[in-house]
Amino acid sequence: MTSAVDHFSAKLAHETDASDVHAARKAGQEVAVVDVRSDEAWAQGRIVDAIHMHYSEIAARAPLEILQGTPVVVYCWSPGCNAADKGALEFAKLGYDVKLMIGGFEYWVREGYPVENADGVHRRPVDPLTGVPRIRANA
């Protein structure tokens, strides 16, 4: 039993999901949301107010751009992408409190949260396979 408690406690200490990130931001909690994908993926769309920092740039850029002590959440495209793991590792090496957003950008979009690109802020309908459509005032 202890091994399961240890496992899930550690997992929750280092992972989060789209709904928890959205709720934290909506509640005004300070969190640096970092998109570690390529320039091309970033241009297609991203979480509103995310920081674009490819995982290969984190060691050089993060200490200059993100105040130490700021909680960090990293994401890449989807559960099938390990770029967020690479990014989280780089932030951890620098001593940041970092979590990986499981599901990545794909699940952020599928759950209907706002995204932005060069055309502005957009929202897609909630995918009924990933979330329950709900009315969101000022979300």
Residue appearing with tokens 């005004």: 28
- pLDDT tens-digit series, residues 110-128: 999 999 999 999 998 999 8
Instruction: Pick 111 or 137 by higher pLDDT.
Output: 111
- Asked if 56 and 114 count as a contact pair (C-beta separation under 8 A), the reply is no
pLDDT confidence tier of residue 138, bands split at 50, 70 and 90: very low
CATH code for the structural domain at 15-122: 3.40.250.10
In the predicted structure, residue 32 carries a pLDDT above the cut 60: yes
Q: What is the pLDDT of residue 46?
A: 97
Averaged pLDDT for residues 58-82: 96
Q: What is the pLDDT of residue 128?
A: 87
Q: Is the pTM of this model over 0.85?
A: yes
Rounded Cα gap, residues 101 and 50, in angstroms: 13
Q: What is the pLDDT of residue 129?
A: 87
**High-pLDDT (> 90) share of the chain, %:** 86
In the predicted structure, residue 107 carries a pLDDT above the cut 60: yes
Write the CA distances from 57 to 30, 34, 63, 70, 87, integer angstroms.
22, 12, 11, 18, 9
Structural domain boundaries in the chain: 15-122
Q: How, if at all, do strands 32-35 and 72-75 pair?
A: parallel
- Asked if 132 and 112 count as a contact pair (C-beta separation under 8 A), the reply is no
Averaged pLDDT for residues 71-99: 96
Q: What is the pLDDT of residue 45?
A: 96
